[in-house]
Amino acid sequence: MNDIARLFQAFLAPAIFVSATALLVLSINVRLMGIVSRFRQYVHARHDAAKNGRLQEADAYMAQINLIEERAGMIRRCFLLVLIALAATIGSCLLLGLGLYWQQAAEAAVIIFVLAMLCLLAGTFYYIREVSVSLSSVCIEASDSRFMDLGSQPEIHRHDPL
Closest CA to 72 of 45, 34, 46, 124: 34
Contact between residue 69 and residue 46 where contact means Cβ atoms under 8 Å apart: no
Q: Residue 91 contacts by C-beta under 8 Å, 6 or more apart in sequence?
A: 109, 112
- The per-residue pLDDT string of the chain (162 residues; one tens digit each, 9 = 90 and over) reads 567 776 676 667 777 888 888 899 999 999 999 999 989 998 998 999 899 988 888 888 898 899 899 999 999 999 999 999 999 988 988 888 788 788 899 899 889 999 999 999 999 999 999 988 887 766 776 776 666 554 444 343 445 455
Query: Which pTM value belongs to this model?
Result: 0.74
Contact between residue 81 and residue 120 where contact means Cβ atoms under 8 Å apart: yes
Distance CA 49, CA 36 (A): 20
What are the sequence ranges of the domains in the chain?
2-145
Q: What is the pLDDT of residue 156?
A: 38
Q: What is the pLDDT of residue 133?
A: 86
Q: What is the pLDDT of residue 154?
A: 39
